[in-house]
Amino acid sequence: MTNAVTVQELVDTLDINLIYGEEYKTNKIYSSEVSRPGLVLTGYKEYYPHERIQLIGRTEMSFLSEKTSEERSNIFSLMCTDETPAIVVSREIDIPEELIPVADSLDIPILSARSKTSRVLANITNYLERKLAERLSKHGVFLEVFGMGVLLVGSSGIGKSEIGLELIQRGHRLIADDRVELYQIDELTLNGEAPEILQNMIEIRGLGIIDVMSLYGVSAIRRSKRLELIINLVLDDGNTQYDRLGFDKEYEQIFEVQVPSIRIPVKTGRNLAAIVESAAMNFRATQMGYDAKVTFNSKLRDLIQENRGEQ
């Protein structure tokens, strides 16, 4: 099923007002791209993206003001189609009277925004990209640890939520527990958030559902975050071999994004919250150019050479 956003949802979320066409506020928007109908105003309609929101700014209005009323009516008839979800006019510019009957005849609502055109374009595009993006639900606990988006995954009952609760008590922030909705922003970026029904909640076996915001305050939660690291918690059965020095790099592909992944063995007595903190800090240090593995290798090489020189 294709994702869609209604005009009413757009109005409710952004600083945009519905001026004409109240009865058309249920129109659905399927494209996250917004069109500035520059060429079509001159009469060129080839490849015109009529199915997108049409944004009219000061430049377009300046061009239209030089036309006669009849010419403006013809231009709007060319610009508006029965698939156009809405027309937005920026800077609270007065709506041309010729636009109203044309839009009304095709069930197109007319919206007005206060901001300059480039900002309106960015705000609408960012909102629609987030709402219309393909989504993937993944089981796990998603937290912000030292500013990084860290997703804890592993088999059911391994202790992900308990680790998450301890990290919250240490000052880190919860984004989602149990189920995380991931969506792609661009070729390098995935964002994650909680389904609406699970926002601010964490489930602890034996205690039940905990409202993190009520217990720990608004600073303990965050609505969404970029996913930067996946930590796979694996029950240590004594037989699985792990990379002791951390040279093996693992990734998990989600949509088109390769997300770094590490495995951490779980067994009695390990302070996993502290290990997750260290993993996040170490990953960030590596991104900034410091790699403990490289430093260790260099020191080991120097030590070997020094011992050879003494022989």
Establish whether 244 is a catalytic residue. yes
| Annotated binding residue 75 | no
Q: Is 106 exposed, middle or buried (0-12, 13-18, 19+ CB in 10 A)?
A: middle
- Asked if 292 and 282 count as a contact pair (C-beta separation under 8 A), the reply is yes
Nearest in space to 26 (alpha carbons), one of 40, 11, 7, 44 = 7
- What's the rounded Cα separation, in Å, for the pair 141 and 206? 18
Joined tokens for residue 182:
């991931």
249 catalytic? Reply is: no
Considering the candidates 52, 177, 178, 225, report the single residue annotated as catalytic: 178
87: which DSSP letter?
Answer: E
CB–CB of 27/4 below 8 Å?
Answer: no
Active site residue 178: yes
Tell me the one-letter amino acid at 311: Q
User: Could you tell me if 136 and 255 are in contact, meaning their C-beta atoms sit under 8 angstroms apart?
Assistant: yes
Q: Does the annotation mark 172 as catalytic?
A: no
To the question of whether residue 92 is assigned a binding role by annotation, the answer is: no
156 is annotated as contributing to ligand binding: yes
Per-position DSSP letters for 194-257, written without gaps between them: --GGGTTEEEETTTEEEEHHHHH-GGGB-SEEE--EEEEEEE--S-----SS----EEEEETTE
Which of 160, 172, 222, 225 is an active site residue?
160
Catalytic position from the list 45, 58, 116, 139: 139
User: Taking the CA atoms of the chain, what radius of gyration do you get in angstroms?
Assistant: 27
Q: Are 293 and 245 in contact (CB under 8 A)?
A: yes
Question: Are 87 and 53 within 8 A, CB to CB?
Answer: yes
Question: Residue 134, annotated ligand binder?
Answer: no
| Buried-exposed string 133-143: b where 16+ CB fall within 10 A, e elsewhere | beeeebebbbb
Residue type, 51: E
- Per the annotation, does 154 bind a ligand? yes
Which residue numbers belong to the known binding site?
Answer: 154-161, 203
Which residue numbers belong to the known binding site for ATP?
Answer: 154-161
Which residue numbers belong to the known binding site for Mg(2+)?
Answer: 161, 203
Active site positions, annotated: 139, 160, 178, 244
